[in-house]
Chains A and B, each alone.
Chain A
Amino acid sequence: MSAPVLQMHNITKTFPGVLANDDVSFDVHAGEVHTLLGENGAGKSTLMKILFGLYQPDSGQILLRGQQANITSPTDAIEKRVGMVHQHFMLVPTLTVAENVALGLPSSRGLRTDLDAVSERIASISEQYGLSVDPGVEIWKLSVGERQRVEIIKALYRDAELLVLDEPTAVLTPQEVDDLFVILRQMTAADTAIIFISHKLHEVMELSDRITVLRNGRVTGHTTPAETSRQQLADLMVGREVKLAPDKPPVDLGLVRLKLRGVTVKGDRGTIAVDNVDLDVHAGEILGVAGVSGNGQRELAETIAGLRPAEAGSVQLDDTDLSKANPAQSRAAGLSYVPEERMKDGAVGEFDVSENLLLINHGEKRFLRNGLFNFDAIKSHCQQLVDDFAVKTPSLSTPTSSLSGGNIQKVIMARELESSPAVLVAAQPTRGVDIGAAEYIHSQLVKQRSDGVAIVMISEDLDEVLGLADRIAVMFEGRIVKIVDRENATKDQLGLAMAGAG
Chain B
Amino acid sequence: MKRLVGASVPLLAALVAFLFGAIMILALGENPLSGLAAMFDGAFGTGDRIAATAVRAVPLLLVGAGITIAFRANVINIGGEGQIIAGALLSTVVALTIPDTPKIILLPLVILGGLIGGAIWGAIPGVLKAYASVNEILSTIMLNIVAVQLMNYLLRGPMIDPIEVDGSRIPQTERLTDNAALPTLIEGTRLHLGVPIAILAAIIVYIILWRTPLGFRLRAVGHNPDAARAAGISVERNIVKALAMSGALSGLAGVTLVFGSESLRMVTDGGSAGFTGSAGFNGIVAALFGALHPLWTIPSSFLFGALLTGATELQRELQIPNALAISLNGLIVLFVVSSDKVREWLARRLDSSTGQPINEPPSADSPPDQVATTSSGNDPETVA
Residues of A participating in the B interface, judged by any CB pair closer than 8 Å: 15-18, 20, 40-46, 48-49, 52, 54-55, 86, 164, 166, 197, 216-217, 305, 307, 326-328, 330-331, 337, 339, 344-351, 355, 358-360, 362-363, 368, 371-373, 392-394, 398-399, 401-404, 406-407, 434
Contact = CB atoms under 8 A, between A and B. Distances in A.
B359 A399 contact: no
B167 interface: no
Interface stretch (B210-218, B247-255, B312-320): B210-218
B371 A399 contact: no
Closest 5 interchain pairs by CB? Answer: A17-B372, A45-B384, A328-B232, A404-B377, A48-B384
Interface string B351-384: 0001111010010011010111111111111111
Given A305-B230, A372-B211, A402-B362, A44 B378 contact: no
Contacts of A394: 370, 373-374
A348 B220 contact: yes
B377 A403 contact: yes
Contacts of A49: 383-384
A344 B232 CA distance: 15
Contacts of A45: 380-384
A141 B362 CA distance: 33
B228 interface: yes
Contacts of B377: 40-41, 392, 403-404, 406-407, 434
B207 interface: yes
A164 B226 CA distance: 35
A236 to B, nearest CB: 17
Contacts, number: 153
A456 to B, nearest CB: 15
Given A41-B381, A359-B231, 6 more contacts: A49-B384, A216-B376, A348-B228, A398-B373, A398-B374, A402-B370
Contacts of B230: 305, 307, 327, 337, 339, 345-346
Given A399-B370, A402-B371, A346 B227 contact: yes
Interface in B160-196: none
Contact of A392 (B216, B371, B376): B376
B231 A20 contact: no
A346 B228 CA distance: 8
A381 B370 CA distance: 23
A41 B371 CA distance: 12
A44 B374 contact: no
B263 interface: no
B226 A344 contact: yes
A398 B370 contact: yes
B224 interface: yes
28 contacts: A15-B371, A15-B372, A16-B354, A20-B381, A40-B378, A41-B376, A41-B379, A41-B381, A42-B381, A45-B381, A46-B379, A49-B383, A54-B359, A197-B384, A307-B230, A345-B227, A349-B224, A360-B232, A362-B213, A363-B213, A372-B207, A372-B211, A372-B212, A373-B212, A373-B216, A392-B374, A402-B374, A434-B377
B356 A15 contact: yes
B148 to A, nearest CB: 37
Contacts of A166: 384
